[in-house]
Amino acid sequence: MTHGIEQVVQRGMCVGCGACAVRTSGAIPVTIGRFGVYEARLDGVDPAVVRDASRVCPFSDDARNEDDLARELFPGLPTDDRIGAHLDVFAGRRTSENELVASSSGGLTSLMLTELLRGGVVDGVLHVGRSASGDQLFTYEISTTSEDVERSRKSMYSATTLADVVAEIRGDGRTYAVVGLPCFIKALRLLAHEMPGLGEQLRVYVGLVCGHLKSSFFAESLAWQAGVPPHELGRIDFRVKNPERSSGDYDYEVAARDGAEPRVRRTSSTIDGPWEYGAFQPEACNFCDDVFAESADVVFADAWLPQYKADWRGMNAVVVRDERLRELLLAARRRGEIHLEALSVDEAARSQAGGLRHRRTGLAVRLADDMRRGLSVPTKRVAPDLRVVTRRRAAVIRQRRRMSQLSLETFAIARQAGDFELYAAPMRRAIQRYRLFEAASLGLRPFARALRRRILPARRRPADQ
Ligand SMILES: Cc1cc2nc3c(=O)[nH]c(=O)nc-3n(C[C@H](O)[C@H](O)[C@H](O)COP(=O)(O)OP(=O)(O)OC[C@H]3O[C@@H](n4cnc5c(N)ncnc54)[C@H](O)[C@@H]3O)c2cc1C
Ligand code: SF4
Ligand code: SF4
């Protein structure tokens, strides 16, 4: 059976991108759901309208896949099955210490956006910023000046939707660059194809490499662990660089609504900070095979490589697929504004080894698991296959998936009851089990035995991502 948008929504695989809402002029509403992720609702929608929406949904079999899109968008470019099409691959960062420290990684994403505005390539930028009003901390916004762009730097690890901002700019006669996670960029490319007027407006697609999305619970949980309960959370900065540590071992800062002094904590010291645990990851990310935003004109990542990680200030890995954008970066290097050096395709892929494992072997196992249970799954570029990993590794993959679901369900209960332990206690047990499976999968039997006896203290893991 075809896995269309109906199956996407029914199986909880909706990532909330909002493409369906844009395509149907709002006939399909996309609103924040009970687990802090945006979700589409199809009940009562005309079946013909649903079919239109299915062609722009990034998880629907009615939509073209990333390979098809890239072939059309980047003809003639060499391609790699891990990083996609590539004109050039770099490691780089801003040379100004102040600008660098105010960015997530090397600060090249915001620099690129500023250059696009300054050079008149586009009239505006659509990207996620800190929400000035409403109940969500982060929303897509429109920036038309470099000052606006610089104000919204850093990674916003929280669910958002493009539905409102795209509806707002549609038909306004202006052109835009858009920043998005790989599935959002794919959804926009599909929309641009279906809605040529909108396609004319969206001129530059800037991708962010993605490990997985976080529901809005992530911010709330980090805040709670810093002593600020969810309903009092006013602001969070997920990426505060710390000169005492490596770039992957960063802090976060939270501020309560009452204006009290912000609190800073080490991300890796929290229950859910290490990304490998998959805390608050929506189900959609379990069915994603695009790490490097393969349909974006350029994609920015953290260069999680040993030669760069030691430097706390951060470094980007960049895959460029458009000549104009490469020239903008090279021009910034000539002016001395950025440092840029060549990176090999293998190094770029290695910088995202965990994300690629999750989206390749992990995906093969999850697809096979669900198919064995008779569940509908999307057609992916990865084949369902349980033989790609050992049984012990499969146990790690399954435990991670359980942890994502557990975190969402128990946190919803905990925030309702105002009791953090209702989330933390089951999550701690699940993490312990995960580490047990992981040790066994690595053949560390004594370590696994010791863990079982609970005599080892929790190992600190870098947050990375
Ligand atoms: C959910 C998520 C998961 C990620 N996973 C990984 C990963 O696994 N590996 C990795 O190397 N990198 C990952 N990244 C990207 C990484 O965190 C940095 O965003 C990236 O390296 C760019 O850093 P920078 O210093 O160039 O960005 P900056 O110069 O600080 O600029 C960041 C820009 O991105 C925009 N932005 C931030 N968050 C979002 C968002 N959610 N949606 C759209 N626009 C946004 C901001 O508005 C700003 O314009 C992830 C990012 C997100 C949001
Ligand atoms: S993933 Fe996007 S397009 Fe698909 S149903 Fe959800 S909001 Fe709509
Ligand atoms: S992991 Fe894939 S589905 Fe999840 S947010 Fe990232 S790009 Fe989208």
Ramachandran angles phi, psi of 264, nearest 5°: -115, 130
**Which pLDDT band, with edges at 50, 70 and 90, does 259 fall under?**
confident
Determine the Cα–Cα distance for residues 463 and 442; give it in Å rounded to an integer.
21
- Which atom from ligand 3 is nearest to the alpha carbon of 210? 6
Ordered alpha helix ranges (H), 42-145: 47-54, 66-73, 97-101, 108-118
How many A from CA of 392 to the centre of ligand 1?
A: 32
**Which pLDDT band, with edges at 50, 70 and 90, does 260 fall under?**
confident
**Which pLDDT band, with edges at 50, 70 and 90, does 132 fall under?**
confident
Measured by CA distance, the residue closest to atom 48 of ligand 1 is: 153
Measured by CA distance, the residue closest to atom 6 of ligand 2 is: 14
Instruction: Tell me the CA distances in angstroms from 403 to 274, 356, 408, one per residue in order.
Output: 12, 19, 9
DSSP secondary structure, 396-459, as one string: HHHHHHHHHHHHHHHHHHHHHHT-THHHHHHHHHHHHHHHHHHHHHTT-HHHHHHHHTT-SPPP
Q: What is the average per-residue pLDDT within 186-203?
A: 98
For position 369, what pLDDT does the model report? 98
Measured by CA distance, the residue closest to atom 50 of ligand 1 is: 210
Closest CA to 114 of 106, 104, 103, 122: 122
For position 108, what pLDDT does the model report? 98
Angle (nearest 5°) at CA 461 between 460 and 464: 150
CB atoms < 10 A from the CB of 277, how many? 21
Of the listed ligands, the closest to the CA of 104 is 1
Of the listed ligands, the closest to the CA of 7 is 2
Residues lining ligand 1, CB < 6 A? 103-110, 113, 127-129, 152-157, 160, 179-181, 208-211, 213-214, 300-302, 304, 316, 352, 355, 465
How many A from CA of 287 to the centre of ligand 2?
A: 13
Residues lining ligand 2, CB < 6 A? 5, 8-9, 14-20, 30, 40, 56-59, 187
For position 295, what pLDDT does the model report? 98
- Out of 163-167, 228-232, 305-309, 443-447, least confident range: 443-447
401 compared with 445, residue with greater pLDDT: 401
Q: What is the average per-residue pLDDT within 64-86?
A: 97
Mean pLDDT (the chain, rounded): 95
Residues lining ligand 3, CB < 6 A? 15, 181-183, 210, 212-213, 284-285, 288, 290
Q: Which helix (H) or strand (E) holds 219?
A: helix 217-225
Class of CATH domain 66-214+279-353: alpha beta
- Which atom from ligand 3 is nearest to the alpha carbon of 212? 1
Angle (nearest 5°) at CA 303 between 300 and 308: 145
pLDDT, tens only, 372-407: 999 999 999 999 999 999 999 999 999 999 999 999
Of the listed ligands, the closest to the CA of 136 is 1
Residue 49 in contact with residue 43, Cβ under 8 Å? no
Determine the Cα–Cα distance for residues 300 and 351; give it in Å rounded to an integer.
12
- Which atom from ligand 1 is nearest to the alpha carbon of 129? 47
For position 131, what pLDDT does the model report? 84
pLDDT, tens only, 206-248: 999 999 999 999 999 999 999 999 999 999 999 999 999 999 9
Of the listed ligands, the closest to the CA of 216 is 1
For position 449, what pLDDT does the model report? 67
Measured by CA distance, the residue closest to atom 4 of ligand 2 is: 57
Structure tokens that stand for 172 in this block: 């306004």
For position 455, what pLDDT does the model report? 43
How many A from CA of 438 to the centre of ligand 3?
A: 24
pLDDT, tens only, 311-349: 999 999 999 999 999 999 999 999 999 999 999 999 999
**Percent of the chain at pLDDT exceeding 90:** 93
How many A from CA of 64 to the centre of ligand 2?
A: 14
How many A from CA of 425 to the centre of ligand 3?
A: 27
Portions of the chain given CATH number 3.40.640? 66-214+279-353
Of the listed ligands, the closest to the CA of 32 is 2
Instruction: Tell me the CA distances in angstroms from 224 to 54, 61, 152, 221, 268, one per residue in order.
Output: 38, 39, 24, 5, 15
Is residue 1 over pLDDT 90?
no
Measured by CA distance, the residue closest to atom 1 of ligand 2 is: 14
